[in-house]
Amino acid sequence: MIMNLLNEKNVVVTGGSRGIGRSICLEFAKEGANVAFLYAGNKDKAGETLTALCGMGIKAKAYICSVADADEVKKTFTDIAAEFGKIDILVNNAGITKDKLAVMMTPEEFGQVIDINLNGAFNCIRNVLPVMMKNKSGKIINITSVSGLTGNPGQINYSASKAGLVGMTKTVAKEYASKGITCNAIAPGFVETDMTAAFADNEKVLQTIPLRRFAKPDEIASLAVFLASSAADYITGEVIRIDGGLAI
């Protein structure tokens, strides 16, 4: 990959302290971007990620923020804009799961996942758009999921939230293309994270994936870097699967 593909760009990554979000932060930093990341409460993991970023010669800062809280998000984005001067790229990565079959799931469990995964992305997009419109440019990247495209037993809340992100992506792309803002989504399948560690070696699961392995977080991050770069300036409203052939 060409170094400094995103030199002097400022990126905001939600859920950036670990897993896919951490890899996205590090990959963007490798390409010269300054990184502001949001995290929900794991101070130790956030500190580790921030230390790694600061050692890469770019500007970085961590912000504790619940993306489901509209007021918190507004304040955080105001603080980021004041600290970094502009926001060129937003990556909506924050997400949770609370898996159960539909008949067993409580309204609270359904709502909690929608609040973080879908409402959280809306809150962030709503607050970054005025900054991007002022700049007459911007890149928004939403991390959705193959579950949002195909459905998945036990994940009615998660699948619904990720399907909602697909519709949100396409709508934002149509509304703001004339302002120089693109909006795309990445739909991963199984990825090697803490969330999937329990069944990463499950042969039954691997048999459903034509490439017979889980994705590495940095493979998702590399695609995010591409979509944030000038090489993807003519791509908007797309949902790109990165799933090893799972949803063929």
Please state the domain extents for the chain.
10-242
Report whether pLDDT(222) > 50. Answer: yes
Q: Are 14 and 120 in contact (CB under 8 A)?
A: yes
Report whether pLDDT(142) > 80. Answer: yes
Catalytic residue among 39, 63, 158, 176: 158
Catalytic residue status for 158: yes
Please choose, from the candidates 175, 182, 187, 184, the residue with its C-alpha nearest in 3D space to the C-alpha of residue 20: 187
Report whether pLDDT(1) > 70. Answer: no
pLDDT tens, position by position, 233-246: 999 999 999 999 99
Q: Are 182 and 236 in contact (CB under 8 A)?
A: yes
**What pLDDT shows up at residue 155?**
97
User: What mean pLDDT value characterizes the chain?
Assistant: 96
**What pLDDT shows up at residue 136?**
97
Provide the CATH topology of domain 10-242.
Rossmann fold (3.40.50)
Report whether pLDDT(32) > 60. Answer: yes
Distance, in Å, from the CA atom of 104 to the CA atom of 106, rounded to the nearest integer, reads: 7
Per-residue confidence at 201, pLDDT binned at 50, 70, 90? low
**What pLDDT shows up at residue 2?**
46
Per-residue confidence at 200, pLDDT binned at 50, 70, 90? low
**What pLDDT shows up at residue 8?**
92
The pLDDT of 164-190, averaged and rounded, is 98
pLDDT tens, position by position, 148-158: 999 999 999 99
pLDDT tens, position by position, 95-127: 999 999 999 999 999 999 999 999 999 999 999
State what percent of residues in the chain have pLDDT above 90.
93
